[in-house]
């Protein structure tokens, strides 16, 4: 069941759902808007191959920290970013990450693999792709995505405690840590 604004406010008030910082205007009828952080990771063209079994590319990623001048995503560019908000989901709640329609209409695709597992705690790393033929400038602090929350019938038997648990800031792929 997707939670409405009243249910979300109650869970936050009781401390069962933690989102920090959070302003009242971010709470929508059936979602909560999250804002863009100020650090980005770019995969430079000097990387020949991204080998999923090796983290050699990690040290070559370019970290960019911006201020109020914003960040330009070039046409056809892939960039990692983060939310300002730190979230802590209880073991019975999951969330879907959706891009904002207004940004999608500019050609900015926003993902995070689309899903936040029950029990996750941390900031949300977002994947951006500019599908437009024009650069897009975005700004720290702007509403960048929305999370839609759903209550599960019962708590997860194995809530998320994985390799991204507790992440803060833009976090590169850790797929090389997968055992299978």
CA–CA separation, 124 and 83 (whole Å)? 5
H or E element at residue 126: strand 121-130
111 is catalytic: no
Which residue of the set 7, 98, 111, 127 is catalytic? 127
8 A C-beta contact, residue 100 and residue 143: yes
| Residues in Cβ contact with 171 at an 8 Å cutoff, skipping those fewer than 6 apart | 80, 82, 125, 164
CA–CA separation, 168 and 88 (whole Å)? 12
DSSP label at residue 57: G
In the block, residue with structure tokens 């050699």: 56
Positions marked active-site: 127
């Amino acid at each position: 069941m997707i939670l409405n604004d009243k249910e979300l406010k109650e869970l936050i008030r009781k401390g069962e759902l933690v989102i920090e910082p959070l302003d009242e205007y971010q709470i929508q009828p059936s979602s909560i808007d999250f804002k863009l952080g100020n650090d980005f990771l770019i995969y430079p063209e000097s990387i020949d191959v991204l080998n999923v079994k090796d983290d050699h590319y990690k040290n070559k990623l370019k970290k960019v920290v911006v201020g109020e001048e914003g960040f330009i995503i070039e046409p056809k560019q892939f960039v990692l970013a983060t939310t300002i908000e730190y979230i802590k989901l209880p073991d019975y709640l999951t969330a879907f990450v959706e891009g904002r329609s207004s940004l999608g209409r500019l050609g900015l695709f926003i993902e995070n693999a689309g899903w936040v597992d029950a029990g996750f705690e941390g900031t949300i790393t977002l994947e951006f792709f500019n599908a437009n033929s024009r650069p897009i400038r975005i700004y720290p602090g702007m509403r960048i995505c929305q999370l839609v929350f759903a209550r599960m019938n019962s708590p997860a038997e194995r809530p998320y405690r994985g390799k991204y648990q507790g992440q803060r800031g833009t976090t590169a792929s850790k797929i090389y840590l997968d055992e299978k």
